């Protein structure tokens, strides 16, 4: 059986609305993660990395979790692919500080 993760409405800095340099920062913090993302270049690909609050039901209990979303750019055009990858962390992060710490250790 699949798991349904409710990420709510798309935040204003979601790449489906376009990427603005004003939304890209070098480091996400507990104060800016809701409205900002990190832009990275790895192996010739652009990565747009953001944290988003999600909700899911586990064993009949509703839980909040923080998800690191990574949008991959195409290698040649640097355009973002239409789909994104949701990186589910080893701990299913419950606190935004844990999500940010995990993100900075793995980027």
- The pTM of the full predicted model, rounded to 2 decimals, is 0.69
Question: Does residue 59 fall inside a structural domain?
Answer: yes
Residues in the chain: 107
C-beta separation of 10 from 16 below 8 A:
yes
CA–chain centroid gap for 102, Å, is 12
Q: Tell me if 90 is assigned to some domain.
A: yes
State the total domains in the chain: 1
User: Can you read off the two tokens belonging to residue 87?
Assistant: 């990186």
Q: Would residue 93 count as lying in a domain? A: yes
Residue 28 belongs to a domain: yes
Mean pLDDT confidence for 22-31: 90
> By residue range, what is the domain housing residue 78?
24-105
Q: Is residue 91 part of a domain?
A: yes
**Angle at CA 7, nearest 5°, toward 40 and 4?**
115
Domain assignment of residue 68, yes or no: yes
Q: Tell me, yes or no, whether 65 lies in a domain.
A: yes
For residue 64 the two structure tokens come to 């909040």
Smallest CA-to-CA distance from 28 within 19, 18, 20, 38 is with 38
The predicted-structure confidence for 46-94, as pLDDT tens digits, reads as follows 888 899 888 888 888 888 888 888 887 766 555 655 444 444 444 445 5
Q: Is residue 36 part of a domain?
A: yes
């Amino acid at each position: 059986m699949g798991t349904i993760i409710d990420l709510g409405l798309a935040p204003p800095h979601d790449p489906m609305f376009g990427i603005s340099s004003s939304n890209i920062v070098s480091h996400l913090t507990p104060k800016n993660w809701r409205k900002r993302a990190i832009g990275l270049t790895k192996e010739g690909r652009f990565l747009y990395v953001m944290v988003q609050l999600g909700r899911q039901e586990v064993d009949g209990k509703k839980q909040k979790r923080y998800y690191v979303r990574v949008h991959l750019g195409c290698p040649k055009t640097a355009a973002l692919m239409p789909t994104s990858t949701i990186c589910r962390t080893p701990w299913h992060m419950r606190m935004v500080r844990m999500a940010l710490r995990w993100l900075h250790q793995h980027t």
